[in-house]
Every structure is written in structure tokens, then in C-alpha cells.
Amino acid sequence: MLTALTLALSACGGSVTSMVTGAPPPGLRIIAPSVAGGGYDLTARSVSRAWAAQGVAVDDVLVLPGSGGVVGLGRLAAERGNERLLLMMGLGLVGALATIPSEYTLNDVTPIARLVTEPEVVLVPAASPLRTLDDLLVRWRAGDDLRFGGGSAAGGPDGLFRTRLARAVGVDPDATGYRVYDGGGELLPALLTGEVDVATTGVSEYLDQLASGTVRALAVSSDDAVAGVDAPTLREQGVDLVFDNWRGLMAPPDLPPDRVQTLIRQVRELVASDDWARLAERNGWQDALLTGDDFGAFLRDQADMVAATLDPAA
């Protein structure tokens, strides 16, 4: 009898079911649309830990790589009205949607919040003959066959950064190849084995390797120096370029407005917490909170930036 009643009431929501069974209501699930160990995965797990300290349960981080985040977006969009599902996303997904066919766009899901920005870094293996950014620029401008790699598609942050860096230093972006890897977890071995000569990638995924001396940073793309990265900024080396990646959260379509506001409130409390501040500092992130409609407007601006970078003549 109790089992039948529980099944009947479960359709009315987790809170009703928990009243009957005594079990806690279900927590959130966060889709990380990259390989394990990638930037989306790292950020999703950091959010999960910081939320847990505040009593907001995250039951699972679902690693769902594919097409620069397009696969994860499709899963989110199909979960219409699911109040317990979120997608960790960022500039990489905006760029992927500009270059990869997709049934869905960001207009088909619900913007919750931009969380952080993160600078890019120019990396080489520790044994590389490229000791400084000037070493790289001399060879790049001379037309040497340098192999670049990044953990995102050409329209994602790593590819966009390489393109904008090339133009900033007077190099044709198309004159050298760019190999795409699905996140930092796949890019690192390619860099260390010499499959690529130079990586343009997010700082947070490589802080451990930088600390151990496995890789060397030639420059960071931020306005200011980054803790834990022994490299000057591009501007300090005469290159007029500042570039930031960012990450945020989206929810499925057709959520009740009060649920959207609850999620936004929980994000605001998250980024105001000491636990989040420690995680952000450890990963080289800068707080960059934008919520709701403001985040939606930012997404449209980012789509315009991506389009202009990929096709400046358009």
C-alpha cells in the first residue's frame, strides 16, 4: 500500500515523495559537457563542493563530452521542465554552436548565471626550445611549421585566443594549423609527446603541471599577472591583447519562473561564500557574476564576438 502511494505521489515532485518515504529530496545534477578533467568538469565539481557546504545537494556531475558541448546542450534541451538539471557551459559552447551543426541553440534553454572568467595561457613543454614569447613570435612570423593545439574547437576559447593572438602579432591565423582536442585532459599528452608544439588553453587545467615544471608558460592573456603562473601578460610583452574565457550555468527550457529565481538565488549565495572564494583563487578564476536576462544579453554579445573573430570580413 505504501509502495503504491509512493509511486503515485512521486510524479508530484521530490518533496512529496520525501514526505512519504522519509528520504531526502533529490539533489541537482550538473552536466559537464567535456571529458573528465576538462574545464567544464573541474568547474562543475567545484560548484558541487561549494554548494554542498551550503546545504545545496548535487547528486551527480554527469560527464557528457561531444562536439564542444553541443551534445550536452542537446541533453539539457530535451529535459524540458526538469528542475533538477543544470549544464555547465561557457565560451566553448558558444563557439561550437558557430561551427558545428546543432538541433538546438542557447535560445532553447534557460540562462541562469555566468560564474567566473579565466585567462588563457600560451604553453610549451618544459623541454621546448621556445623559452619566451619572443622566441615563439620570431618563428611564427618567419612562417615556421609550428603545430598549435587547444582544448576547444576553432570557435571555442582556445581556438579564438590563438586566432586573435595571431592577428595581434601580425600573423595570418590560417598559416599554421590548429589541432582540436576535447578538453585539457586530451590536450596535455599531445603537448608532452610533441604532437603539438604550442598549446593555447585555460589556466586552471594546467596549474598542477606548471607547479611541477612539466610545462612552461610563455604568456597569460589577462590584464594582470596570475598567481601560480610564472609568466608575464601579453601586454607586458608588447602585445595589445586581453582575452578571457568564462563559464556559467544553463537550465532546461520551460522552468517555472519561481524555480529560475531559486536557482539564481542559490548561485548568488554560492559565489558569495568563502568556500567558493577559496576554490576560485586556487583555480585562477575571477568572479564575474551575471544572472538571468543580463546573462542572456551577454550570451548574444559573445555570439557576435565569435562570429566576428571567425570571419572578420563578414
What DSSP assignment string belongs to the chain?
Answer: -HHHHHHHHHTT-HHHHHHHH-PPPP-EEEEE-S-TTSHHHHHHHHHHHHHHHTT--EEEEEE---GGGHHHHHHHHHSTT-TTEEEEEEHHHHHHHHHS--S--GGGSEEEEEEEEEEEEEEEETT-S--SHHHHHHHHHTT----EEESS-TTSHHHHHHHHHHHHTT--GGGS-EEE-SSHHHHHHHHHTTS-SEEEEESGGGHHHHHHTSEEEEEE-SSS--TT--S-BTGGGT-----EEEEEEEE-SS--HHHHHHHHHHHHHHHTSHHHHHHHHHTT-EEEEEEHHHHHHHHHHHHHHHHHHH-TT-
**Per-residue pLDDT at 240 exceeds 50:** yes
Residue located via cell numbers 529535459 = 79
pLDDT at 290: 98
* Residue whose C-alpha is closest to residue 249's, from 37, 76, 99: 76
The pLDDT value given to residue 19: 44
Which pLDDT score is estimated for 24? 62
Residue 23: band (very low, low, confident or very high) from pLDDT cuts 50, 70, 90: low
User: Mean pLDDT of all residues in the chain?
Assistant: 90
Query: Is there a contact between 28 and 270 (Cβ–Cβ < 8 Å)?
Result: no
> In this model, does residue 12 exceed pLDDT 80?
no
Return the residue matching grid coordinates 613570435: 137
Q: What is the pLDDT of residue 143?
A: 92
What distance, in Å, lies between the first and last C-alpha atoms of the chain? 66
Mean pLDDT calculated for residue range 57-78: 94
- pLDDT over threshold 90, residue 284: no
- In this prediction, residues 296-305 reach a mean pLDDT of 96
Q: How far apart are CA 162 and CA 130, in angstroms?
A: 17
Residues in the chain: 314
Could you give the C-alpha distances from 72 to 68, 97, 288, in angstroms and in order?
9, 12, 23
pLDDT band at residue 170 using 50, 70 and 90 as cut-offs? very high
- Cα separation of 58 and 42, whole Å? 14
Q: pLDDT band at 9, cuts 50/70/90?
A: very low
Predicted local confidence at residue 68, as pLDDT: 86
Identify the residue whose cell numbers are 595561457.
121
Cα separation, 112 vs 190, in Å, equals: 35
Cα 161 to the center of its chain, rounded Å: 14
What integer is the mean pLDDT of 221-236? 92
- At 239 the pLDDT is 97
Residue 167 has pLDDT above 80, yes or no: yes
pLDDT one-digit tens code per residue, 175-215: 888 998 877 778 999 999 999 999 999 988 888 899 999 99
Q: How confident is the model at residue 308 (pLDDT cuts 50, 70, 90)?
A: very high
For 164, residues 6+ apart whose C-beta sits below 8 A from its C-beta are: 241, 243, 309
- pLDDT for residue 164: 96
Q: Is the pLDDT of residue 15 over 60?
A: no
pLDDT of the residue at 8: 39
Write the pLDDT tens digit of every residue in 107-150.
Answer: 999 999 999 999 999 999 999 999 999 999 999 999 998 999 99
What's the pTM? Answer: 0.84
Distance from C-alpha of 135 to C-alpha of 218, rounded to nearest angstrom: 9
- Residue 184 has what pLDDT? 77
